[in-house]
Amino acid sequence: MTDGMDVTLHVPGALAGYAGGRREVRVALGAGELATTVSGVLDRVAAELPALERRIRDENAAIRRHVNVYVDGADIRTLSGAQTTVPAGGVIDVIAAVSGG
């Protein structure tokens, strides 16, 4: 979204249409901010790309049950969930879980 201190959100192909066709969204951190949380990143995504964010989280800001989120390769369910720290320069991967028929 801007240059400078930011984190990168990798968007799955199924959701690229909700990110203007992009597979990668850059989310800027605040001035002097060295890290944020997954929740903080998605709050910023919600402000600019609400149709993307609402497919990752429900209206209670809970990450959807069949969506897997990784921070720098680690499943946030094994960390602190949506409160997992994302450092400046960090990468968030959003991936569809195994489900459906």
Partner 1 sequence: MTDTLLLAGTRKGLLLARRRGGSWHTEPLALPMTAVYAVGIDARRPTPRLFASATSEHWGPTILHSDDLGASWSEPDHAPVAFPKDVETALARVWQIQPGPSSDPDVMYAGTEPAALFRSEDGGINFELVRPLWEHPHRPQWGAGYGGQAIHTVLPHPVDPRRILIALSSGGVYRSYDSGESWAAANTGIKATFLPEEQRYPEFGQCVHKVAQDAENPERLYLQNHNGVYRSDDWGGTWVSIAQGLPGEFGFGIVADPHRGGHAYVFPLVSDYSRFTPDFRCRVYGTTDAGESWAEVGSGLPESEFYSLVLRDAFTADAADPLGLYFGTRSGELYAGGAGRWERVASNLPDVLSVRVLALA
Q: Which residues of this chain interact with partner 1, rule CB under 8 A?
A: 14-15, 49-51, 54-56, 58-60, 62, 64, 66-67, 96-97, 99-100
**Residue 39 identity:** S
Which C-beta is closer to partner 1: that of 60 or that of 78? 60
Distance of alpha carbon 39 from alpha carbon 12, whole angstroms: 18
Residue 90 · residue 8 · CB < 8 Å: yes
Which C-beta is closer to partner 1: that of 29 or that of 52? 52
Residue 23 · residue 36 · CB < 8 Å: no
CB of 97 to partner 1, least distance (A): 7
CB of 22 to partner 1, least distance (A): 16
